[in-house]
């Protein structure tokens, strides 16, 4: 082979190798940019969901697994929380926290539109109330629509009795995160025939719910409730009889816990001798 031809072949091979390595580098750059964007979104979303940070105008920028935080907060603890949240995101190796601590700092007044975090909070409240109403054995005649905005709940629809309407309102107001309840349920009296009553009785007799299901719903009802320390109560169910144990802060909290448990569908009775205050 002539020297000139060898040079051409060598040069072509070198160009191909450079092109290949350039393509790998470009792919690596794109991959890192995607990772940075994912991490940045995850950190920002967590800030938006945090009741301690969402009101502050914090900014997040991520480059090569390093997060840079900027903005203003009122207390050192908020700045530290922002750092811990960022470091908790998978892949973040370093945090440059440039957040300024300014005592007495007042975050900008929120607009009439809900923030991302507030929308999520309201959705959780609505779902919690709907679940509690669905689990209740005293709300079969209830047809309620639940709307929540800024923690303010509105109940609309119909109830078959004043007692059912009142119960729906109590379940709603005792839900974690609820600021107020506007109970607009209309009481519509429904007269049942003897045949319908008999049919309903047969349906209830056939509806034997598993003890595990009852225990799970009682626990969930406690956890959704703002006035009961659900984590301090142990719940056991045997053939529909619910046993509660633990230590609460007051007699009022104990009474509410018993009432909430008694209200759950499938509960025959509640034993609460071991539930102290």
pLDDT of residue 198: 46
pTM above 0.75, yes or no: no
192 near 178, Cβ under 8 Å?
no
Residue 54 confidence class, pLDDT cut points 50, 70, 90: confident
The mean-pLDDT minimum among 76-80, 93-97, 162-166, 204-208 falls in 204-208
pLDDT of residue 193: 46
Q: Of 242, 201, 198, whose CA–CA distance to 222 is shortest? A: 242
CA–CA dist 131, 136 (Å, integer)? 9
The two tokens of residue 68 are 């840079």
Whether the pLDDT of residue 22 is over 90: the answer is no
State pLDDT tens for residues 178-220. Answer: 999 999 999 987 655 444 454 444 444 444 679 999 999 999 9
CA–CA dist 215, 246 (Å, integer)? 15
């Amino acid at each position: 082979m002539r020297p000139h031809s060898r040079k051409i072949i060598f040069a072509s091979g070198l160009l191909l190798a450079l092109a290949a390595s350039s393509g790998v580098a470009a792919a690596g750059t794109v991959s890192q940019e995607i990772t940075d964007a994912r991490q940045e979104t995850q950190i920002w979303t967590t800030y938006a969901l945090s009741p301690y940070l969402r009101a502050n105008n914090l900014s997040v920028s991520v480059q090569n697994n390093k997060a840079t935080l900027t903005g203003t907060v009122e207390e050192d603890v908020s700045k530290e929380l922002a750092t811990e949240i960022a470091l908790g995101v998978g892949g973040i190796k370093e945090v440059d926290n440039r957040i300024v601590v300014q005592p007495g700092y007042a975050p900008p007044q929120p607009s009439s539109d809900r923030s991302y975090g507030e929308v999520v909070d309201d959705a959780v409240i609505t779902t919690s109330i709907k679940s509690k109403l669905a689990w209740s054995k005293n709300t079969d005649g209830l047809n309620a629509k639940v709307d929540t905005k800024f923690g303010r709940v509105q109940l609309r629809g119909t109830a078959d009795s004043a007692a059912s309407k009142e119960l729906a309102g109590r379940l709603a107001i005792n839900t974690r995160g609820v600021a107020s309840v506007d109970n607009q349920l209309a009481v519509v009296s429904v007269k049942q025939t003897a045949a319908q009553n008999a049919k309903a009785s047969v349906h209830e007799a056939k509806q034997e719910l598993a003890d595990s299901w009852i225990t799970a719903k009682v626990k969930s009802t406690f956890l959704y409730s703002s006035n009961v320390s659900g984590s301090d109560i142990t719940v056991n169910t045997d053939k529909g009889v619910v046993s509660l144990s633990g230590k609460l802060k007051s007699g009022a909290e104990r009474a509410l816990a018993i009432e909430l448990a008694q209200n759950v569908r499938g509960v025959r009775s509640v034993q609460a001798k071991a539930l102290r205050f």
